[in-house]
Amino acid sequence: FLLFYISLKGVLNLQKTVQDILKKAEVFKEFYPNQNQTKFI
């Protein structure tokens, strides 16, 4: 059960990290509106 809890927590942390990266990308796009979205792909 503890292992399942740790893996679940790891998945949640991963989702949080992805959300943080997406937020930073949105802020970056706001600061540099001239750049195209293809740079992030």
Task: Quote the CA–CA distance of 10 and 33 in Å, as a whole number.
Answer: 34
Q: Mean pLDDT of all residues in the chain? A: 77
Q: What are the b/e assignments for 9-32, b being 16+ CB within 10 Å?
A: eeeeeeeeeeeeeeeeeeeeeeee
Q: What's the whole-number mean pLDDT along residues 33-39? A: 57
- pLDDT > 70: percent of the chain: 73
Residue extents of the structural domains in the chain: 2-32
Residue 38 CA, chain-centre distance (Å), reads 17
pTM beyond 0.75: the answer is no
Give the tens place of pLDDT for each residue, 12-22.
888 899 889 88
